Structure 1
Amino acid sequence: MTDRLFLDEPTLRTVLATVVAAAPEGIVLDRTIFYARSGGQPGDVGVLRWAGGETAIADTVKGDGAAILHIPTAEALLPPVGATVEGAIDWQRRHRLMRMHTTLHLLCTVLPGIAVTGGSVRPDSSRLDFDLPSPPPREEIEQHLNAVIAAAHPVRTEWVDEAVLDENPALVRTLSVQPPRGSGRVRLVRIGAGEPPVDLQPCGGTHVANTAEIGPVVVRKIENKGRQNRRITVALA
Structure 2
Amino acid sequence: MTELLFRHDAYLRECEAVVVALADGAVELDRTVCYPMGGGQPGDSGVLLCEGGRELRVVDTRKGEAPDQVWHRLAEGSALPAVGERVTLRLDWDRRYAHMRYHTALHLLCAVVAAPVTGGQVAGDKARLDFAVEMDALDKDRIEAGLNALVAAGHVVSARWVEESALDANPGREPVHPIFALAFALLPDEGQGASRAAVRVPQAACNAAVRRRDGEPVGPGWQRGIRFVMCLGNSPAIASGPCLAPAPLPVRRRCENRVNRLHKTMSVAPPRGAGMVRLIEVAGADLQPCGGTHVRNTAEIGPLLVQKIRSEGKQNKRVIIAFAG
Q: Which amino acid aligns with 1:160?
A: V
Does structure 2 retain, via aligned residues, the 8 Å contact 1:135–1:230? no
Question: What's the counterpart of residue 14 of structure 1?
Answer: 14
CA distance in 2, matches of 1:164, 1:101: 26
CA distance in 2, matches of 1:164, 1:200: 15
Q: Which has the larger radius of gyration?
A: 2
Q: How does 1:1-237 map to 2 (within 5 A)?
A: 1-52=1-52, 53-66=54-67, 67-112=69-114, 114-133=115-134, 134-166=136-168, 167=170, 169=173, 170-181=261-272, 183-192=274-283, 197-237=284-324
Secondary structure in structure 1 of the residue aligned to 2:308? strand
CA distance in 1, matches of 2:273, 2:291: 15
Report the Cα offset of residue 182 of structure 1.
5.8
Report the Cα offset of residue 228 of structure 1.
3.2
CA distance in 1, matches of 2:278, 2:308: 31
Q: CA RMSD in A?
A: 1.2
TM-score scaled to structure 1, two decimals?
0.94
What do residues 168-205 of structure 1 show as CA deviations (whole Å, max 9, x unaligned)?
A: 6421111111114462100000111xxxx310010000
Question: What's the counterpart of residue 192 of structure 2?
Answer: none
CA distance in 2, matches of 1:60, 1:45: 7
CA distance in 2, matches of 1:110, 1:61: 31
What do residues 19-77 of structure 1 show as CA deviations (whole Å, max 9, x unaligned)?
A: 00123331000000000000000000001001122210000000120310000010112
4+ runs deviating over 6 angstroms: none
Q: Which amino acid aligns with 1:41?
A: Q
CA distance in 1, matches of 2:272, 2:49: 35
Report the Cα offset of residue 6 of structure 1.
0.5
Secondary structure in structure 1 of the residue aligned to 2:293? coil
Q: How many residues align?
A: 232
Does structure 2 retain, via aligned residues, the 8 Å contact 1:24–1:75? no
What do residues 55-102 of structure 1 show as CA deviations (whole Å, max 9, x unaligned)?
A: 100000001203100000101121111011000010000000000000
CA distance in 1, matches of 2:57, 2:25: 13
CA distance in 2, matches of 1:178, 1:64: 17
Does structure 2 retain, via aligned residues, the 8 Å contact 1:54–1:77? no
What do residues 81-137 of structure 1 show as CA deviations (whole Å, max 9, x unaligned)?
A: 10110000100000000000000000000013x110011011210100000013231
Identity %: 49
Secondary structure in structure 1 of the residue aligned to 2:137? coil
Secondary structure in structure 2 of the residue aligned to 1:19? strand
CA distance in 2, matches of 1:33, 1:224: 37
Does structure 2 retain, via aligned residues, the 8 Å contact 1:24–1:72? no
Does structure 1 retain, via aligned residues, the 8 Å contact 2:131–2:317? yes
CA distance in 1, matches of 2:112, 2:264: 13
Does structure 1 retain, via aligned residues, the 8 Å contact 2:25–2:78? no
CA distance in 1, matches of 2:316, 2:92: 34
Unaligned runs of 5+ in 1: none
Q: Which amino acid aligns with 1:156?
A: S
Unaligned runs of 5+ in 2: 174-260
The range that moved more, 171-180 or 53-62, is 171-180
Does structure 2 retain, via aligned residues, the 8 Å contact 1:20–1:29? yes
